[in-house]
Amino acid sequence: MGTMKKMNQTMDMVHGPLLKNIFIFALPLMAANLLEIAFNAADTITVGKFSGQEALAAVGAVGPIVNLMVALFNGLAVGSNIVIARQLGSGQKEKITASVHTSYFLALTGGILLTVLGFFGSVLFLDFMGTPADIISQSTLYLRIYFVGSIPLLVYNFGSAVLRSKGDTAHPTLYLAIGGVLNVILNLYFVICLQMSVAGVAIATVISESVSAVMVTVQLMKESGSIHLDLKKIRMDPAIASSIMKIGIPAGLQTMMWSISNVAVQSAINSFGSTAVAGNSAAANIEGFVYIGMGAFSQACITFTSQCAGAGEKERIKKIFWVLTVLMIVSSWSVGALAWGFGRFFLSLFTNDSAVIDMGMIRMWHVVFWLWLNGVLDIPASSLRGMGYSATPTVAMLLGIVGVRLLYIATIWKLDPTLDVLYMCFPLSWVITCVILFLLWKYFYRQFCEKY
């Protein structure tokens, strides 16, 4: 009972021991990231081991499309998180209530829009990417089923964002775990027992996401005070929606542009055939485990900075920035190095095909090992958003990530079209973007301090 009461309390991110509060906030998020990645990997492992190389490639080929289409709405969820956290920091209780219900309105309407776009646009997107002919029908089937579950996907993401704004990362993690365990069980049943291949893992994903969405919604309905959700009051407050979109749309566009560059990379990988696509898919799943700490510390930076910005605590914002930069470097480098060092073993969990493993190891060195650079650039981007400069990191990402990768593929890779050369666009773009974002953070932090 005491533990549940603690989970329902709002964390004071403006005062108190910073490092302790960061870990209290981030550890459940790390667990959530670990579970989400593990459950996604379970999809890939299941089809790779029991349905073959083509099914593995079919599921892997849709990743950039899913990320691209969901990105904007996930950005709006980030906007909800920041807006509510700032309102908590400044004690605006009535606005918090309006923000909670506006967030759910955006989740529902966004889910409907995403369902329509995803279902009817799947073939067009896959054709545009040059998806190999031997996997395009299975990829289309997976995408269409996946996007049918867009409403529960967004409801869970927005509901979790609301809970995180007050420091509750434990409940979303618990609900993700329950949904994920169900996902694994259904994967095994649909794929092994019913021989449903990619359709089975897609249906399992939709069912598990629906369960998690229901649970996070029920939790918000049980919350007391301004964070309480009343289903009858779900409607859009224009002023609140404008604030969420002002922050969330640039955040979503940043991820979308990032995804666009990944779509370009995926299209280039597709030109090497389904073996390369399968190897890339397996390595990308392992890569996801490096994001466990990265995602948690980025979210901590956004939420802690937002509450402190609402309270005008500029010195604490600076301290948050440097503490999380150090934590990000240590966690992401160590996990990335470990993943690369044991790369062949991890890849063998996804496939028994030695050619696929060889292809996967190319990505393991050029991308997974150097992923810590990606983690480092997330901190200034998250801090800038928390201070209210949401468009700034978006522009930086456009130049440093999208621009560099697209230019690289059109020039350097065209001169030497190998997988090794292709994957080198990742670390190069991360280094350039790191420099840009750190310089921007230094400038805009001074601007922020002049306001207080």
Give yes or no for a contact between 260 and 398, defined as CB atoms under 8 angstroms apart.
Answer: no
Average pLDDT of the segment spanning 196-211 = 87
Reference 231, options 411, 107, 380, 402; nearest CA is 107
Task: Look at 352 and 49; give whichever has higher pLDDT.
Answer: 352
Helices 425-451 and 238-270 pack at an angle, to 10 degrees, of: 160
Q: For a pLDDT cut of 90, what percent of the chain falls above it?
A: 28
- Burial class of residue 105, CB neighbours in 10 A (0-12, 13-18, 19+): middle
**352: pLDDT strictly greater than 90:** no
Give yes or no for a contact between 163 and 199, defined as CB atoms under 8 angstroms apart.
Answer: no
What is the DSSP annotation of 26-40? HHHHHHHHHHHHHHH
Residue 6's pLDDT band, with cuts at 50, 70 and 90, is: very low
State the pLDDT at residue 2: 44
Structure token digits, residue 450: 């002049």
State the pLDDT at residue 377: 92
Residue 5's pLDDT band, with cuts at 50, 70 and 90, is: very low
Reference 419, options 311, 219, 283, 227; nearest CA is 283
In this predicted structure, which of 130-134, 266-270, 375-379 has the lowest mean pLDDT? 130-134
What is the DSSP annotation of 69-130? HHHHHHHHHHHHHHHHHHHHHHT-HHHHHHHHHHHHHHHHHHHHHHHHHHHHHHHHHHHHTT
Q: How far apart are CA 44 and CA 176, in angstroms?
A: 18
Indicate the DSSP class of residue 342: T
Residue 49's pLDDT band, with cuts at 50, 70 and 90, is: low
Average pLDDT of the segment spanning 264-278 = 83
Q: For a pLDDT cut of 70, what percent of the chain falls above it?
A: 93
Q: How far apart are CA 140 and CA 449, in angstroms?
A: 50
State the pLDDT at residue 11: 65
Residue 430's pLDDT band, with cuts at 50, 70 and 90, is: very high
**65: pLDDT strictly greater than 80:** no
Ramachandran area for residue 10 (φ above 0: left; ψ -120 to 50: alpha; else beta):
beta
State the pLDDT at residue 9: 55
Structure token digits, residue 274: 């389904």
Q: Mean pLDDT in the chain? A: 84
Average pLDDT of the segment spanning 360-379 = 91
Task: Look at 71 and 405; give whichever has higher pLDDT.
Answer: 405
Helix ranges (DSSP H) in 223-273: 238-270
Average pLDDT of the segment spanning 384-391 = 86
Q: How far apart are CA 173 and CA 156, in angstroms?
A: 11
Give yes or no for a contact between 285 and 56, defined as CB atoms under 8 angstroms apart.
Answer: no
State the pLDDT at residue 165: 84
In this predicted structure, which of 136-140, 234-238, 313-317 has the lowest mean pLDDT? 136-140
Q: By three-state DSSP, how is residue 353 classified? A: coil
Residue 452's pLDDT band, with cuts at 50, 70 and 90, is: low
Task: Look at 185 and 39; give whichever has higher pLDDT.
Answer: 185
In this predicted structure, which of 185-189, 287-291, 361-365 has the lowest mean pLDDT? 287-291
Residue 4's pLDDT band, with cuts at 50, 70 and 90, is: very low
Average pLDDT of the segment spanning 73-83 = 84
